[in-house]
Structure 1
């Protein structure tokens, strides 16, 4: 909706990585330099870490565009919790190798044969492993062993590991990863964007979608936006999407800090509600040490239960289904609060008719007013989701 209102050619702040929107902040420029150096070495491991949403995937997508597809073959692995045998088979599949059964030796032989063929054809091979913090120590050791494949003195495989900050810590501190650590030839940790980079980042994405100056932005908005998001690109995208949507709903040509504050307040409320839901459905595996959590996930994966099958069905639901469920949940949440308010008002009415006015009448009225304000915000949030729903439905119909 908002891209039509403001005349954009497409959405400027999508959450999915898109190399077309790549913005070279200071930290991303450094990362690209380290990547370039590492790839020129043609061996060992290159490690890029960063917080969730810091732009690792977008950086790699941008890097892949710069690689010569005629001279380099790229395999990609986005990991869950993999053990050593699983890592080998997933790596083989990333290069298009079909390994029958679960024979690890056969998978290794197929990978080695593939690497030799690529080398004889003058092609280098790069394996990109995302979410490396989810890998077991055994899986990381198997990746190190794959780096041993050589043709004469020429290494046949180079690996790029992407992970969250805990992977950086694991790699630095684990005694079991000493040999892998010695093979890391370049590494970089993506930092958040600096305060002065927020406005150029936003304008870069807007200009990519044919922004012509509408909407305008209050100059004081950028410091507030950096403080709110911590300079994390994905968080900036989330806030800007909500801000533009609010601007379109209210038909604003200038977006200011008051509107930004309203968006932040609404998003903070959403996050609090999500935290309450998470507390109601605890996930004990998150409280386990990393190694135990990995073992637990592997055990559950080998024992497909009705609950696990339900999780698969949930993941397979389309975006449309999730949006409908979110809207229904929001209305149910609103109805529950409205019923509670009605009961509170009825109690006050009964007290007044009996002549027994409670001492805390003023406080209770203030509380009711506050909850009514909360319902107003809730309704605005539901409106936002409904707009997203119809917008997505329209996009699907057009496709």
Structure 2
């Protein structure tokens, strides 16, 4: 909608990851370098972790775009809470393998035969497992077992794990020692700092054919504060900011424009929160029942007090009688 107005060739802040829009921040360069290093080693696991929206999938897509199918057949799967058998089926399906029987043994046999064919063609398989934090420990262990498919001591398949920060805790479990020993590199993606956020926005504006000074300098701190430096959140808010600028016919977007957009978003979020609906049923009048209970309780208390006072009087009379008897005995002596 706003592309023509701002002179963009395409929308600069789409949410769908694309290799053409890869912004190589320092941390992203390091993570990509680890993936490339893992490929050069041809063995072991590479683990990339980070918060939601920090760019793990974007890095994976960037790596896949650089691969030659003459050397590596790469497949990417996105996992849910798959048990080991289901994971094996998904891997076989991702490589388009057909089995005669739907048993784990048949799936494993099909995968092994496929990997051997690739090896005979001087190629190998690469598996990128996205959202790996969703996998149970047993399923991660199944990935390790797949790395045991070897010929002359050379692994036939290599796996890269991409996941949220919870994946680190899973890998550190006591019974994951054998898996940890096969990790040859790992990297954690963190959020952008303010200067990275500004550079990221300007990079995307430039890639789309827009002007670098489309946003005034005072906009970036507001965007950083809202997004916390998470690329996906930056994309979301910037898309709204550009739409606002188009609707308001802004030549340059300033801090007031960004603040207006952030207020709109905050109001939308507030409206989405569930609110308790007032009950339409009349509330019962509990006053008479409460008064009755209070009267009954008061009567019980009064009765108990009366009984206790009676006992006190009787005890007092006994003490006086005892004193009189003692006094009479002393006089007789």
Q: Taking structure 2 as the reference length, what is the TM-score of the superposition?
A: 0.80
* Aligned residue number for residue 24 of structure 2: 24
Counterpart of 2:236 (choices 230, 235, 238) is 238
CA drift of 1:92 comes to 0.7
Whether the 8 Å contact between 1:193 and 1:231 is mirrored in structure 2 is yes
Return the index of the structure with the highest Cα Rg: 2
Q: CA deviation at 1:99?
A: 2.7
Secondary structure of the residue that 2:48 maps to in structure 1?
strand
The reply to whether residue 270 of structure 1 matches residue 260 of structure 2 is no
Match runs of 1:1-399 below 5 Å? 1-172=1-172, 174-212=173-211, 216-274=214-272, 276-277=273-274
Q: Give 1:273 shift.
A: 3.6
Task: Determine the C-alpha separation between the residues in 1 that align with 2:179 and 2:245.
Answer: 51
How much does 1:4 deviate? 2.1
User: How many residue pairs get matched?
Assistant: 277
Tell me the CA shift for residue 200 of structure 1: 1.6
What is the root-mean-square deviation in Å for CA atoms of aligned residues?
Answer: 1.7
Q: Distance in 1 between matches of 2:194 and 2:184?
A: 31
Q: Which runs of 5+ in 2 are unaligned?
A: 278-333
Which protein, 1 or 2, shows the higher relative CO under an 8 Å CA cutoff with sep ≥ 6? 2
Instruction: Give the structure with the larger helix fraction.
Output: 1
| TM-superposition CA deviations, 1:160-216 (whole Å, max 9, x none) | 1110111122212x1222211111111101111121112221111111111146x72
The alignment partner of 1:255 has SS state of coil
* Counterpart contact for 2:227–2:233, Cα < 8 Å: yes
Counterpart of 2:300 in structure 1 is none
Partners of 1:163 and 1:176 in 2: CA distance: 19
**How high is the TM-score relative to the length of structure 1?**
0.67
Deviation at 1:100, TM superposition (A): 4.5
Distance 1:130 1:225 in 2: 28
Counterpart residue number, 1:359: none
